[in-house]
């Protein structure tokens, strides 16, 4: 049995309050460099000592700064290394103006194939994260693995096995075996556990730290 745990990064600084962005045209690069707040750093350090986040054989992370900052504490506690895999990176938004991100979220929730110019659809995110996970399962057979990624990526990946629905705000809701797995409420303390027999999914559960 291989255990795969999914989590997101800690709390971010509000970049509108403390960061002056001199390159507003490069939204993707700005998003990649967003970092944890002091409170977020302290929270992740505290979570890293939780018994449920021990005994990992390997940690995989997107290459975003906030993911790596989260991963470093858990890797230190587990005395293991961090594998950086950009297939777990956040969805590429693309050329969004004059649309708002909230509008894009609704359009993509309704249609997993929808994407903006130079952006990614949720099905494309799902495909690349599926491929990364399959390789991970083949390489880490029988191990306990942590993946630190992003809410949209985790949602797209879990839609492989989960039943998809929506709330009144068109946020995606995912359920598995009549259990609510995703309800648009992500925090670093929300952990999703997947159990596999080789590459075959056995069960999905969620818990809070």
Q: Which helix (H) or strand (E) holds 139?
A: helix 122-139
- If you average pLDDT over residues 57-79, what whole number do you get? 96
The model's confidence at residue 27, banded by pLDDT at 50, 70 and 90, is: low
SS3 assignment for 61-110: ECCCHHHHHHHHHHHHHHCCCEEECHHHCCCCCCCCCCCCHHHHHHHHHH
Name the pTM for this structure. Answer: 0.92
Contact 145, 6 (CB under 8 A): no
pLDDT > 60? residue 156: yes
Give residue 92's pLDDT.
Answer: 94
Burial class of residue 73 in the structure, from the number of CB atoms within 10 Å of its CB (0-12 exposed, 13-18 middle, 19+ buried): buried
Centroid of chain to Cα 176: 18
Q: Where is pLDDT greater, at 77 or 23? A: 77
The model's confidence at residue 189, banded by pLDDT at 50, 70 and 90, is: confident
pLDDT > 50? residue 95: yes
pLDDT > 60? residue 18: no
Q: Which of 26-30, 121-125, 148-152, 191-195 has the lowest mean pLDDT?
A: 26-30
Give exposure, 115-148, as e/b (b: 16+ Cβ within 10 Å): bbeebbbbebbbbbbeebbeebbeebeebbbbbb
The model's confidence at residue 171, banded by pLDDT at 50, 70 and 90, is: confident
The span from the CA of 15 to the CA of 129, in Å, is 28
The model's confidence at residue 22, banded by pLDDT at 50, 70 and 90, is: low
The model's confidence at residue 21, banded by pLDDT at 50, 70 and 90, is: low
The model's confidence at residue 65, banded by pLDDT at 50, 70 and 90, is: very high
> Phi-psi region for residue 170, left (φ > 0), alpha (ψ -120 to 50) or beta?
left
pLDDT > 80? residue 12: no
Give the architecture-level CATH label for domain 2-208: 3-Layer(aba) Sandwich (3.40)
pLDDT > 90? residue 104: yes
Q: Where is pLDDT greater, at 116 or 185? A: 116
The model's confidence at residue 16, banded by pLDDT at 50, 70 and 90, is: very low
Instruction: Report CA Rg, the chain.
Output: 17
Give residue 97's pLDDT.
Answer: 87
Give residue 71's pLDDT.
Answer: 96
């Amino acid at each position: 049995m291989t255990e795969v745990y999914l989590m997101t990064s800690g709390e971010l600084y509000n970049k509108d309050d403390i960061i002056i962005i001199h390159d507003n045209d490069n939204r993707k690069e700005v998003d990649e460099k967003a970092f944890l707040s002091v409170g977020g750093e302290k929270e992740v350090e505290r979570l890293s000592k939780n018994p449920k986040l021990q005994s990992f054989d390997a940690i995989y992370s997107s290459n975003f700064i906030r993911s790596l900052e989260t991963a470093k504490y858990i890797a230190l506690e587990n005395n293991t290394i961090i594998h950086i895999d950009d297939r777990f990176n956040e969805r590429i938004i693309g050329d969004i103006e004059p649309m708002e991100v909230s509008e894009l979220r609704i359009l993509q929730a309704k249609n997993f194939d929808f994407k903006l110019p130079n952006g990614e659809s949720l099905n494309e995110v799902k495909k690349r994260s599926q491929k990364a996970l399959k390789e991970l399962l083949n390489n880490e057979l029988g191990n306990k693995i942590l993946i630190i990624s992003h809410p949209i990526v985790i949602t797209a990946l879990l839609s492989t096995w989960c039943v998809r629905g929506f709330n009144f705000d068109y946020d995606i809701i995912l359920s598995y075996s009549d259990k609510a797995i995703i309800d648009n409420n992500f925090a670093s303390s929300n952990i999703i556990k997947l159990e596999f027999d080789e590459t075959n999914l056995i069960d999905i559960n969620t818990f809070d730290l």
